[in-house]
Amino acid sequence: MSKNKLLLIDGNSVAFRAFYAIQNFESFKTKSGLHTNAILFFNNMLDNIMQKEEPSHVLIAFDAGKTTFRHAFFDDYKAGRAKTPGEFKEQMPYIRELIEAFGIQHYELADYEADDIIGTLARRVSADDFEVVVISGDKDLTQLADKNIRVEVTTKGVSELTTYTPEFIKEKYGLEPLQIIDMKGLAGDSSDNIPGVTRVGEKTAIKLLAEYGSVEGLYEHLDELKPSKMKENLINDKEQAFLSKKLATIDVNAPIDVAVESLAYSGKDIDKLVPFYREMEFKQQLNKLDTTGLTGTSEPLTEISYEVVTEAATSMFSDGMSLYVEMLEPNYHTSDISGVAWGTKEKLYVSFGDDILSQDSFKEWLDDENLTKIVYDAKANQVALKRYGIDLKGVAFDVLLASYLIDTNDKSEDLAEVAFNYEYYDIDTDESVYGKGVKKGLPAEDSVLFQHLARKVKALASLQPKLDQLLVEKEQHELFYDMELPLSRVLGEMEIEGITVNAQRLQEMKQEFAVQLKGIEERIYELAEEEFNINSPKQLGVILFEKMQLPVIKKTKTGYSTAVDVLEQLKDQAPIVEHILEYRQIAKIQSTYVEGLLKVIQPDGKIHTRYVQTLTQTGRLSSVDPNLQNIPIRLEEGRKIRQAFVPRKKDWQIFSSDYSQIELRVLADIANDQHMREAFVEGQDIHASTAMRVFGLSSEEVTSNIRRQAKAVNFGIVYGISDYGLSQNLGISRKEAQQFIDTYFEKYPDIKTYMETIVREAKDKGYVETLWHRRRYLPDINARNFNLRTFAERTAINTPIQGSAADILKIAMIKMAKRLKEENMEATMLLQVHDELVFEAPKEEIVKLEQLVREVMENAVELSVPLKADSSYGNTWYEAK
């Protein structure tokens, strides 16, 4: 017979811990502004515990009110506590609602604390045939621990639990559980304002209790103590000690009117939980409910009807349909196509695998520019279909792209998650249908796949008008239709084209670097007088800071920092440091670039990156698999990697063009700063010009060092400057850095005004925008937490600058692609690196290309300052510098 198990949870303390589990609670808010961090973490904790413990009975206890029986004999009990934040209080009613939806009873009792309720019930039932588990956010309840009562205390927020058994308490404190009360009597507890004995803390209390067993025992034998300050304190505070013990003692005989039978647990109340999660906007939790197969209890999705197609016919296709191409792998260059679905809300077609893609009527539909389609991730579809010789045309709407523009914070990749955000629920997540990790795969029944795909297509059709309306409301119609959607096509073409890589050159480098690394490695082992893993910051830290006793300059969360700036400072103190720096540099090039790139060269001899168009908060692109936006350039050793990037044909060249100072030009424009604008209009060296203005120098007086400092200040301005950041960058004191900043603002008052205005605007509206209305919401901008708030303020300053620059590049790319076609050029756009475009072209076209790229980039948009593009070319990307 299975034993009964009662789970008792201290609702207040766990909720409180849940609230502080995360610093950044401003990010956990519903659309209507309710904070949900404590609710969410409470939910997750509850889910974990219920799954782990599988209790037969459950109760969550709460404190009743402000005063308890303890206040009757001690007015100041729990006095002096900081006020509970409003963001926490507002969540408590919802936590109770959550508990009810979990099908769990909660209880509170006037004059008593949750501790007393738990203590009373625990003792009452543990006498019977009950195992009791107590969950709390603080250690007060550990005094209850015995062979039938296990006390678990949350740590790390609420994600982990520490088990307090009598054995554990013995080991940790050398005390029996009940002696915890005596310890509190002597040492007190500042959080509850329990006084204890003056100058007696946990350590002293434990020592005394080891000798005398309890507060009573101690005072009986007080004369045996040698005269000391401590003895005096004990004598003076005798009354306080007994009072404190009384305060700390949990009342295990509280008048509780609950029959344990009524606490029997019979499972979640799904009908309450689903709407509750929706109200709280807990998408993952909703998702989880679907996957746990709660058959019959959860609202099943509607079965929608669809037609399975093996032979496509022209009659199945019409203008304005939605299309979904299913791939299970993220890399759409290589992933299999598992199925295709299309249709309208009313009529849905599905087909298994990729057979349909070779059928003419299907191809003709996709290829027809006049038959528009609504899709999810147009670029992925474009690239994947191209492998079947299909040129996807007529994409009129991309749900993924639109949802990104509407809210860049929305990280959902899955259509179901996007749909949930817009209150469309008739769809499963991919994870719930295909699984995840090693178990990921197509469902056993084809009908499950078909149903899922049909739902997706229906969702696309349903979401499109909503999203389109939102784009209008946010003034993002043009951003979407004239910038992002056309760009997605251009990016797709670049990804399909790929860039040719000279694998042989990389192989040579691999050999050379291997030899070099071997040599440095040996030298390091010699100097360390032992072998260790140089790549391990932990092991390296032991060698440098323990064995060799070098001074610790910076620490990380987990140990000593061994980052470059730290090692640079230690260079003179031990020769090993220089070798480690060199090792690091070469090891990085070897593993990330030489070996990394060799791994991703495709059979066509090219590398095909993927640009992620819906990720960054600023509107920039990112590049993955591999990242071609961080190929080394600053140091010569790494820069050589670029020798491996070559044109696809003999007698062709790599051509590169980059915007000069685009971010500062954008700043000059949006801040409307006369001085900075003048410098650009007159074509001056902007950093030198800043140096002259800020330090009051003539152009001859600007040394390279002064220019360097001015450059750092300019960078700082773009990033939302702080004295600390600038001081770190320049290796000067904070005071000096602040002096620079002050002078800068004096000389460029319009920049200062811009910064103040944009931060003000962000605080009022909750978001900032680029020149083309790309939006970034800043939930932390009014946070009380200093770090979060100042970070959001810097972001408010930086995002319009970085984002508008990104917009300009995007416009230039669209225009460039168009012009290359119009001019019938063979030149091809291959890469984008934030302010740079890389092409390959026949030698004969270079002169024309040079003119064309300059013309397009410099006139991509019109600002109040000129845009400038510089270009170069050569046999490899290395030579195009």
Partner DNA sequence: ATGCTCACG
Partner DNA sequence: ACGTACGTGAGCATC
Residue 751 beta carbon to DNA: minimum distance, rounded to whole angstroms: 13
Residue 283 beta carbon to DNA: minimum distance, rounded to whole angstroms: 17
Q: 3-class DSSP state for residue 602?
A: coil
Q: Which of 562, 613, 656, 657 is in the footprint of DNA by CB under 7 A? A: 562
* Residue among 414, 415, 416, 412 at smallest CA distance from 301: 416
Q: What is the spatial distance between Cα 84 and Cα 91, in angstroms, rounded to a whole number?
A: 12
Residue 836 beta carbon to DNA: minimum distance, rounded to whole angstroms: 6
Residue 739 beta carbon to DNA: minimum distance, rounded to whole angstroms: 14
Q: How many CA atoms lie within 13 A of 496 on its CB side?
A: 19
Q: Which of 320, 435, 443, 537 is in the footprint of DNA by CB under 7 A? A: 537
**Taking CB under 7 A as the rule, does residue 558 contact DNA?**
yes
Q: Which of 729, 738, 743, 875 is in the footprint of DNA by CB under 7 A? A: 729
Binding segment (CB under 7 A) for DNA, from list 190-198, 415-423, 675-683, 722-730: 722-730
- Token pair of 415 as six digits: 């259509």
| Residue tagged 């899709």 (tokens) | 375
Residue 814 beta carbon to DNA: minimum distance, rounded to whole angstroms: 19
**Taking CB under 7 A as the rule, does residue 630 contact DNA?**
yes
**Taking CB under 7 A as the rule, does residue 561 contact DNA?**
yes
* 449 vs 517 by CB, closer to DNA: 517
Residue 870 beta carbon to DNA: minimum distance, rounded to whole angstroms: 12
Q: What is the spatial distance between Cα 337 and Cα 329, in angstroms, rounded to a whole number?
A: 9
The dihedral through the CA atoms of 257, 262, 265, 270 has a sign that is negative
**Taking CB under 7 A as the rule, does residue 874 contact DNA?**
no
Residue 30 beta carbon to DNA: minimum distance, rounded to whole angstroms: 23
* 252 vs 670 by CB, closer to DNA: 670
747 contacts 713 by C-beta, under 8 angstroms: no
**Taking CB under 7 A as the rule, does residue 726 contact DNA?**
yes
**Taking CB under 7 A as the rule, does residue 564 contact DNA?**
yes
Q: Which of 460, 612, 817, 860 is in the footprint of DNA by CB under 7 A? A: 612
**Taking CB under 7 A as the rule, does residue 722 contact DNA?**
yes
Q: What is the spatial distance between Cα 403 and Cα 409, in angstroms, rounded to a whole number?
A: 10
Residue 577 beta carbon to DNA: minimum distance, rounded to whole angstroms: 11
Which residue stretches of 626-783 are H helix? 636-639, 662-670, 674-681, 686-695, 704-719, 723-730, 734-747, 749-765
Binding segment (CB under 7 A) for DNA, from list 34-42, 271-279, 718-726, 816-824: 718-726
**Taking CB under 7 A as the rule, does residue 533 contact DNA?**
yes
* 318 vs 722 by CB, closer to DNA: 722
Binding segment (CB under 7 A) for DNA, from list 283-291, 328-336, 441-449, 715-723: 715-723
Q: Which of 634, 650, 735, 821 is in the footprint of DNA by CB under 7 A? A: 634
Q: What is the spatial distance between Cα 246 and Cα 746, in angstroms, rounded to a whole number?
A: 64
- Kindly identify the residues of this chain, within the stretch 449-488, that bind DNA according to CB under 7 A: none
**Taking CB under 7 A as the rule, does residue 355 contact DNA?**
no
Binding segment (CB under 7 A) for DNA, from list 288-296, 336-344, 412-420, 725-733: 725-733
* 273 vs 806 by CB, closer to DNA: 806
Residue 711 beta carbon to DNA: minimum distance, rounded to whole angstroms: 9
**Taking CB under 7 A as the rule, does residue 716 contact DNA?**
yes
Angle, alpha carbons 131-135-141 (nearest 5°)? 90
Binding segment (CB under 7 A) for DNA, from list 198-206, 375-383, 534-542, 860-868: 534-542
**Taking CB under 7 A as the rule, does residue 841 contact DNA?**
no
**Taking CB under 7 A as the rule, does residue 333 contact DNA?**
no
Q: What is the spatial distance between Cα 836 and Cα 846, in angstroms, rounded to a whole number?
A: 17
Q: What is the spatial distance between Cα 745 and Cα 716, in angstroms, rounded to a whole number?
A: 12
- Three-class SS string for 189-229? EHHHCECCCCCCCHHHHHHHHHHHCCHHHHHHCHHHCCCCH
The dihedral through the CA atoms of 91, 94, 98, 100 has a sign that is positive
The dihedral through the CA atoms of 796, 800, 802, 807 has a sign that is positive
Residue 832 beta carbon to DNA: minimum distance, rounded to whole angstroms: 10
Q: Tell me the site size for DNA, rule CB under 7 A.
A: 73
Strands 130-136 and 149-155: parallel
* 74 vs 777 by CB, closer to DNA: 777
Give per-residue burial for 225-248: e unless 16+ CB within 10 Å, then b.
eeeeebeebbeebeebbebbbebb
Binding segment (CB under 7 A) for DNA, from list 413-421, 620-628, 698-706, 851-859: 620-628
Which x/- pattern, by CB under 7 A, does the window 642-671 give for DNA?
A: ----------------x-------------
**Taking CB under 7 A as the rule, does residue 524 contact DNA?**
no
- Kindly identify the residues of this chain, within the stretch 770-809, that bind DNA according to CB under 7 A: 786-787, 790-791, 794-795, 798-799, 802
**Taking CB under 7 A as the rule, does residue 576 contact DNA?**
no
Q: Distance of CA 74 to CAs 68, 69, 138, 251, Å?
A: 10, 9, 21, 16
Q: Which of 279, 355, 446, 625 is in the footprint of DNA by CB under 7 A? A: 625
**Taking CB under 7 A as the rule, does residue 335 contact DNA?**
no
Residues whose CB is less than 8 angstroms from the CB of residue 701 and which lie 6 or more positions away in sequence, other chains included: 692
**Taking CB under 7 A as the rule, does residue 704 contact DNA?**
no
Binding segment (CB under 7 A) for DNA, from list 160-168, 342-350, 616-624, 748-756: 616-624
Q: Which of 539, 569, 660, 753 is in the footprint of DNA by CB under 7 A? A: 539
Binding segment (CB under 7 A) for DNA, from list 28-36, 255-263, 447-455, 531-539: 531-539
**Taking CB under 7 A as the rule, does residue 409 contact DNA?**
no
Number of neighbours of residue 558 by Cβ within 10 angstroms: 9
Q: What is the spatial distance between Cα 162 and Cα 165, in angstroms, rounded to a whole number?
A: 10
**Taking CB under 7 A as the rule, does residue 633 contact DNA?**
yes
361 contacts 373 by C-beta, under 8 angstroms: no
Residue 725 beta carbon to DNA: minimum distance, rounded to whole angstroms: 3
**Taking CB under 7 A as the rule, does residue 629 contact DNA?**
yes
- Kindly identify the residues of this chain, within the stretch 587-606, that bind DNA according to CB under 7 A: 588-589, 591-592, 595-596, 599
Amino acid at 231: K
Binding segment (CB under 7 A) for DNA, from list 231-239, 333-341, 466-474, 827-835: 827-835
Residue 523 beta carbon to DNA: minimum distance, rounded to whole angstroms: 17
Binding segment (CB under 7 A) for DNA, from list 63-71, 680-688, 713-721, 855-863: 713-721
Q: Which residues pair with 107 in a beta bridge?
A: 61
Q: What is the DSSP string of 401-453?
A: HHHHHH-TT----SHHHHHHHTT--S---HHHHH-SGGG----SSHHHHHHHH
Q: Which of 20, 74, 715, 777 is in the footprint of DNA by CB under 7 A? A: 715
- Report CA 27 to chain centroid distance, whole Å: 11
Q: Which of 189, 377, 398, 723 is in the footprint of DNA by CB under 7 A? A: 723
Phi-psi region of 862 (alpha: psi -120 to 50; beta: other; left: phi over 0): beta
| Residue tagged 């291959």 (tokens) | 830
* 411 vs 760 by CB, closer to DNA: 411
- Three-class SS string for 826-839? CCEEEEECCCEEEE
- Kindly identify the residues of this chain, within the stretch 283-322, that bind DNA according to CB under 7 A: none
* Residue among 443, 104, 456, 95 at smallest CA distance from 291: 443
624 contacts 413 by C-beta, under 8 angstroms: no
Q: Which of 719, 748, 754, 767 is in the footprint of DNA by CB under 7 A? A: 719
